[in-house]
Amino acid sequence: MLDVLSRGTPTCASTFFCNFAAVKKLYIETYGCQMNFADSEVVAAILKDQYELCIDVQDADLILINTCSIRDKAEQRIHKRLRELEALKRKRPHLQVGLLGCMAERMKEELFHSEPILNFIAGPDAYRSLPQLIEESAKGQLRFNVLLSEDETYADIMPVRYDLNGVSAFVSIMRGCNNFCSYCVVPYTRGRERSRNPKTILQEVEQLLRDGYKEVTLLGQNVNSYKWNDDGMDMTFAQLMEVVAKTSPDLRVRFATSHPKDISDELIETIARYDNICKYIHLPVQSGSNAVLKKMNRVYTREYYLDRVRKIKETMPDCALSTDIIAGFCGETLEDHEQTLSIMREVGYEYAYMFKYSERGGTMSAKRFPDDVPDEEKTRRLEEIIALQGELSLISNKRDIGKTFRVLVEGYSKRSHDYLYGRNSQNKVIIFPKGDHAPGEYIDVTVNECTGATLLGN
Ligand code: 5AD
Ligand code: SF4
């Protein structure tokens, strides 16, 4: 089987580099969601006059770790990484190490006690103060800024792009979350929801087009509740998508993530109307049981969710759907779990991100409900969910055999430079022989083989 180079999943880590005329070397390591990747690009832009980005951590004068707190496992991974970096700091005593993002916000200055390697920490709304934090901590003081803001969107900062394929880019359109799903730490670590001025979003998209990019993903914790009403403009998310789609028919537009409660008919119809808005919606369901959904504070029912799916499929029969699922939430019975499996079958998701429930301190569910599904049982349920999704993805991929898709080429297959990989509108990865094509091109590819994870074509 051929493999591909992937651009980031909800649980991956990545580094990036670029060249600037500057003196010191900066190494950034990013963990977690796409929003964190977009934030690291903003951080790189804020520091670009003082630091040149480097690809080898051994060369760094400054290491920044952009962190994720969504599950305990994500945090443990970062603690482990900081342990590894201690040896490097012993060799390079002038090296500064800063921790950014959700873990900084969640644990605040307590982190200095558990992680003596750290010189400073900065929460997600404090990146403009990084030059000051770095300067002051270089003098030997431990510095931190974890203030959350009601209006910071880094709107005026043009991110430094690090995906060297130069084909697709993330554009942050809003920050924070007001939903307070009972299991989730994000509203506490990333603060209240706020939308970015559409003028600056469009300026960023137009710059990307001039730089040759072919795809943008509009990012936010809940993009469907994007709302702008200022500066002589009034805009919903559907209207923003339309304006972005109109910048060029050659620019593909994607978005993530959607809360089912906000996925309006207007938005579904807008996606359907534009060929260059990708026919792929990530619609996290979390559970198929009404009792669990209620405890999760998801504010929709199974029936409401299925009605939204019906509307999407009626309007766009070729639209792919993916989801997030949590196994073993507080009080989840076997019957609740069966309901999750049944909603997965009913929707027939193309893809799913699947997790075991992980209790997060300070959240509603940690305060109110005992984490009472034993870990082995969570694992068993998760494995059942993963196995079912494997079957559903394979069924969906088999349906694509013989079909021809317009693919945007993203790069070379990891296993062989004779093959390229790209995605179709439905976000499925397709691998095919290179011929005389190159990344950045649109090519019509006919699928002739598949696995559960990938389509192979010609
Ligand atoms: N435990 C497990 N999964 C979680 N998620 C969010 N919080 C938790 C938690 N405490 C999952 C949800 C969300 C995705 C980004 O991470 O499925 O949609
Ligand atoms: Fe967390 Fe819910 Fe907000 Fe998503 S919508 S970030 S799961 S609180």
Cis peptide before 340 (omega within 30 of 0): no
Q: What is the CATH number of the domain that holds 220?
A: 3.30.750.210
Residues having CB within 6 Å of any atom of ligand 1: 10, 70-71, 183-184, 284, 286, 324, 326, 355, 357-358, 360
Ligand 1 atom with the smallest distance to the CA of 365 is: 10
104 and 45 assigned to the same domain? yes
- Asked if 37 and 109 sit in the same domain, the reply is yes
Question: Domains in the chain: how many in total?
Answer: 4
364 close to 180: Cβ distance less than 8 angstroms? yes
Q: Is the CB of 296 under 6 A from ligand 2?
A: no
Average pLDDT over all residues of the chain: 93
- The reported pLDDT for the residue numbered 415 is 87
16 and 115 in a single domain? The answer is: yes
Question: Is-contact 98 65, C-beta < 8 A?
Answer: yes
Residues 27 and 54 reside in one and the same domain: yes
The candidate with the shortest Cα–Cα distance to 331, out of 368, 276, 380, is 368
Which domain range does residue 179 map to? 165-278
- Please report where in the chains the tokens 């993916």 appear, as a residue: 322
What is the pLDDT confidence band of residue 15, given thresholds at 50, 70 and 90?
A: low
Asked whether residue 95 is domain-assigned, the answer is yes
Say yes or no: 359 and 380 in one domain: yes
pLDDT (average), residues 111-125: 96
Coil, helix or strand at residue 135:
helix
Distance of CA 278 to the CA centre of its chain: 17
Ligand 2 center to 258 CA (angstroms):
10
Count of helix runs (H) and strand runs (E) in the chain = 14, 22
Three-state secondary-structure class, residue 366: helix
Domain boundary among 215, 248, 278: 278
Return the structure tokens found at 386: 């993963």
Q: Within a domain: residue 126? A: yes
Do 130 and 262 lie in a common domain? Answer: no
Q: Is the CB of 187 under 6 A from ligand 2?
A: yes
Q: For residues 242-259, give the mean pLDDT.
A: 97
Q: Whose CA is nearest to atom 4 of ligand 2?
A: 221
Q: How far is the CA of 404 from the centre of ligand 1 (A)?
A: 35
Atom of ligand 1 minimally distant from the CA of 356:
2
Instruction: Concatenate the DSSP letters of all residues of 77-96 into one string.
Output: HHHHHHHHHHHHHHH-TT-E
Sign, CA dihedral 14-213-49-151, equals negative
User: 52-101: per-residue pLDDT in tens?
Assistant: 999 999 999 999 999 999 999 999 999 999 999 999 999 998 999 999 99
156 domain residue, yes or no: no
Query: Residue 456, CB half-sphere, CA atoms under 13 Å: how many?
Result: 11
| 356 Cα–ligand 2 center, Å | 16
Residue at 289 is within a domain:
no
Average pLDDT over residues 349-372: 98
Say yes or no: 341 and 266 in one domain: no
Which of the 8 DSSP states describes residue 29?
A: E
Q: Are 290 and 301 contacting, i.e. CB atoms less than 8 angstroms apart?
A: yes
Same domain, yes or no: 141 and 172: no
**pLDDT beyond 50 at 227:** yes
Residue 159 lies in a domain: no
**∠394-451-427 over CA atoms, to 5°?**
75
Whether 174 lines ligand 2, by a CB cut-off of 6 Å, is: no
Q: Is residue 376 part of a domain?
A: yes
Mean pLDDT over 349-370 rounds to 98
Distance 353 CA to ligand 1 centre (A): 9
By most ligand atoms within 8 Å of CB, the mutation choice from 35, 186, 281, 326 for ligand 1 is: 326
At 237, list the tokens: 């998310």
Measured by CA distance, the residue closest to atom 1 of ligand 2 is 184
Give the position, in ligand 2's atom list, of the atom nearest the Cα of 177. Answer: 3
Q: Residue 421 sits in a domain of what CATH number?
A: 2.40.50
Residue pair 327/354 in contact by the 8 Å Cβ criterion = yes
Checking if the pLDDT of 281 tops 80, the result is yes
What is the Å distance from ligand 2's center to 221 Cα?
7
Which ligand number lies closest to the CA of residue 260?
2
Token digits for 182? 């009972």
Q: Are residues 318 and 355 in the same domain?
A: yes
pLDDT at 377 over 50: yes
- Domain assignment present for residue 294? The answer is no
Beta bridge partners of 352: 323
Nearest to 309 by CA among 298, 297, 322: 322
Question: In angstroms, what is the span from residue 266 Cα to ligand 2's centroid?
Answer: 22
Separation of 382 CA from ligand 2 center, angstroms?
20
Same domain for 22 and 130: yes
CA dist 105 to 158, 191, 418, Å?
Answer: 24, 10, 45
The residue behind tokens 């010609």 is 458
CATH of the domain at 326: 3.30.750.200
Q: Which one is predicted more confidently, 376 or 231?
A: 376
Residue where a domain stops, chosen among 278, 312, 345: 278
Same domain, 200 and 118: no
Q: How far is CA 200 from CA 18, 231, 244, 354, in A?
A: 23, 12, 12, 34
Domain boundary among 399, 423, 443: 399
**Domain contains 157:** no
pLDDT value of residue 163? 64
Question: Based on the domain organization, do 7 and 81 belong to the same domain?
Answer: yes
- Three-state SS across 261-273? HHCCHHHHHHHHH
Which residues are paired to 423 by β-bridges? 408, 429
Using one digit for the tens of pLDDT, what is the confidence trace for 143-201?
Answer: 999 999 999 999 999 999 876 679 999 999 999 999 999 999 999 999 999 999 999 99
Contact criterion met (CB below 8 Å) for 11 and 23: no
Task: Name the closest ligand to CA 188.
Answer: 2
pLDDT band at 231 (very low <50, low <70, confident <90, very high): confident
Give pLDDT, residue 18.
46
Ligand nearest to the CA of 193: 2
Q: Is 356 in the pocket of ligand 2 (CB under 6 A)?
A: no
Q: Output the pLDDT for position 207.
A: 96
Largest CA distance in the chain: 64
Q: What local confidence, expressed as pLDDT, does residue 181 receive?
A: 98
Tokens 């984490």 belong to residue: 371
Cβ of residue 134 lying under 6 Å from some atom of ligand 2:
no
Percent share of the chain, pLDDT over 90: 91
